[in-house]
Structure 1
Amino acid sequence: MSINPEHMRMVEALLFAAKEPLDIQSIAARVPEDAELPEILEQIQKTYQHKGFNLTQVAGKWLFMTAPDLSWLLQEEKETSRKLSRAALETLAIVAYHQPITRTEIEEIRGVGLSRGVMDVLFEAGWIRPRGRRRTPGKPVTYGTTEEFLIHFGLDDVRDLPGFDEMKASGLLNTEPTGLFDTFEEDAATPLDVEENED
């Protein structure tokens, strides 16, 4: 079945104008019901694959991003105030690769205590959040990465992290970062509530 050019133009316009990545449901709500969205998105990807920006899927949503080989052009503009300390970078990596994970487990992996400020920086960046409580004595809060983390680092899924499969195969990772917490209870506490409750 051939793609309706007008439907493709509509989807392009939506993606260009969007202030944030769009999921397929958001796009579908604004275009005719008979628009073949999977095919349209695939065609737009092909159309822009050798251009200055590409259509990319991150965190299950779609957005236009600068072509990876041209990112150096925007290096100055991309400077952010999120200059993470080594402790924050290590903590973020541990959470990303081992989620859902408790504060105590993070400290065990790093081999040092975790200051409140390190977690605060990651919460403020929007890259980690409480994910639930482990069903063990004390019901410790567990942490995981967020959709903002995936979008910032251009990932569609946590499994797209560099070397994830290799690390899992070597036994360095013992959890699946799927976001499905079968042995956890979701907790509606805010990050600050979690921090205060942990002390």
Structure 2
Amino acid sequence: MKPFDILRTTACALPLASIDTDQLIPARFMKRSRADGYGQYLLHDMRFDETGEARPDFPLNAATADGAEVLVARRNFGAGSSREAAVYALADFGFRCVIASSFGDIFASNAVNNGLLPARVGEADVEEILALLQTGGTAITVDLNDCLIRLGNRTFSFTADPIWRTKLLNGWDDLDLALSLTGDIVGFEERDRGQRPWVQLEDNQS
């Protein structure tokens, strides 16, 4: 995965709470090949009407959303089913970070495993960020090194799980993280072998 450290981009405001994974990608599109990209299906039933026409008042259809890599929403983002395709749709659309006051647990874990940062901020800060995006410029900086968001002349702090932060900063998946701990694992095995020799298998045993 591509490491995530400092992201300078534009943001799209989605002032809605409890956007769930079924809304992020409706189930009927999950039969499509991931190789073709899932971005076109992101929030499909909210972005388009019954005839397939784009809803002009929906934030992701606005010209200011073109090229945005940060999505800002309200609490409980990514609730619902555990479908990882919801993260695929966000990533394939071009988003690298979602800012919200809370996230569905499984969604957040899936996000990190696909290089997408779930940046958690306080509810009051979310409201201020949304207001700034809707009344001012959309240029934003997300700094994972210092866990800071800069928008206009305002700076907001966010929280991220320390392990997830390490994975994102290095562009690691779970296997990469485990390999980074090889020295610690070998050291533990050696200490354990000396402290509890009775639980060790002989070399010729399986």
Whether TM-score is above 0.5 comes out as: no
Q: What TM-score do the two structures reach when normalised by structure 1?
A: 0.25
Q: What TM-score do the two structures reach when normalised by structure 2?
A: 0.24
